[in-house]
Amino acid sequence: MKFGILINEGPYTHEASDTAYLFAKAAIEKGHKVSRVFFYHDGVYNSSRLTEPPTDDRHIVNRWQKLAKDHGIDLVVCVAAALRRGIKDENLQEGFRISGLGQLIESGIQSDRLVTFGD
């Protein structure tokens, strides 16, 4: 099965990103494909290279980056939501890219399931 994922909440303030990450990882381990993760609303904060959690905490941004690199997942950040929150290309973590809502629509069309995490 091919999954698209939509994340609407930021890291460290809501469990949506952690749950989405664990879902994606488990799906891949079961032989499914995660083609794209789309970060929308406060979810765009999952892409910021400015995130620096304490060393004894999980680094959510790096988790997404590694999962995407290891499994060819397209990490897309909504341009309008990002700009509203001060996120631009220069403060995106490597492996993420900014694009429009068309990428979310495309993910919904091309995936067997589009799974949403967060409000």
Catalytic residue set: 78
> How far is Cα 98 from Cα 42, in angstroms, rounded to an integer?
14
Contact 76, 110 (CB under 8 A): no
Contact 81, 44 (CB under 8 A): yes
Residue 53: CB atoms within 10 Å? 13
Chain length of the chain? 119
